[in-house]
Each structure stands twice: as structure tokens, then as C-alpha cells.
Amino acid sequence: MNDDILLIDKPAGWTSFDVVAKIRSGIRAEYRARGEKPTKKQLRVGHAGTLDPFATGLLIILKGDACKKAGEFLKLDKVYEATIRLGRTSTTGDPEGEITEVSSKVPSIGEVTAVLEQFKGEITQRPPIYSAVKVNGQRAYKLAREGKEFEVPERTVQVYSIDLLSYAYPELKIRIHVGSGTYIRSLAGDIGQALGVGAYCDELRRISIADWHL
């Protein structure tokens, strides 16, 4: 790595843009301390792959000319650790949405293992309505906040592996290695649907992007 590519462990509650703004503010403060004014190029900061506010973990920050490489990072595979809460659904697929009780059924460990196997390989999923995916030229989350009715198109994504870390109902913890464009919130909801109990992603931590790790 170099000074223009930073690995950040994003805390929960921060948006990816919050991190960008914090670093940009720090750069500006450094130059002011030296009695200098930074150029637009020196203040150029971006990120290579958004993390939801509730999520934590690896966020790659790019500065200056490195911002031109953002597209290269977006195509890389990623590894996450997720806690999926069974028996409930969320309008956003995470703890920040409206939570609805769905089922009190307790799936067996055998049922959970069998369902996880179904989601390995090339799968089809529909990104959450509260996501940055564009629908007719507009961000889905903006349309959702405006109360508009729309459907996010399905997409084909790659799930390289899913490892069961622990299961103590209602919490199901997994480690998952996925290709670019995969939404773990959607996957959590699909797992809950396959189990017949509903689910949402309660905690999410990105631990690596290709060869870059926390």
C-alpha cells in the first residue's frame, strides 16, 4: 500500500461518505497547520466499495490520483462475517428498518446446513430496495424514501463459499466469500425465506477485499 490507498476499519453508525469526509477534513487541517491551502487534487478522496452504515470492517479509501483506480477495486471479491437473525424480517434487510415478527419455528441445524448449501455457486438475487442500485436512472434508496413503488431487477452473483460459524436460534453466524455486486442483506433474507421463518442481517463485518485484509 502507499499513502494514497488507505485501509480503514469502519465503525458501525458511519456511512462510507462520513469516512471520506473525515479524512478529507484531516488533510485540510494538516495543510492549514503548515499555513498552506490544499489543491483540489490533494483534497480528492473517495472509497472503493460502499459499506452500509450498520456494517463494520474494511473500507478502502483512495486519495489523489488513486481515485482513478476505484473501478478496479469494485470488481474484486470480498469476504464478510454476518449475523443473521431468524424469525423476523426488516424493510431494509438490516436492524435499521421496520422489524416484523414472522415465525417462532426453530429450524434444526440440519435444515440450516442444507439451506446454506443451496446458496453456494452462481445464484440469482434481488438487491434491497434500500440500496445504491440505479432503477431508471435513480438510486433505489431515494425512490424508496419517497414512497414510490418500483422493483429492483434481479442479478446473477457468485458465492464462492459459506461457512457456518455458529448457530444458536435466533442467531445464525456465517462467513461468506462472494463476488462483486453481492448483497449480504438480500442473501440473509433469502436464507430466511428458504427456511420458512424470515430473516434479516443483524450484523455485518467485511474482513477482506481480494488480498487486502483488516
Indicate which residue of 4, 52, 94, 211 is catalytic. Answer: 52
Question: Which residues sit opposite 176 in a β-bridge?
Answer: 80, 162
Nine-digit cell at 148? 414510490
Contact (Cβ atoms closer than 8 angstroms) between residue 129 and residue 140: yes
94 is annotated as an active-site residue: no
Query: Following DSSP, what letter does each residue of 114-135 receive, concatenated?
Result: HHHHHTSEEEEE---SSSS-EE
Those residues whose C-beta lies under 8 Å from the C-beta of residue 186, and which sit 6 or more positions away, are: 93, 125, 126, 127, 128
Which grid cell sits at 128? 434491497
For residue 49, give the nearest of 202, 187, 161, 178 by alpha carbon.
178
Inter-residue contact 51 to 57 (CB < 8 Å): yes
Virtual torsion, Cα 105, 111, 115, 120, nearest 10 deg: 150
User: Active-site positions?
Assistant: 52
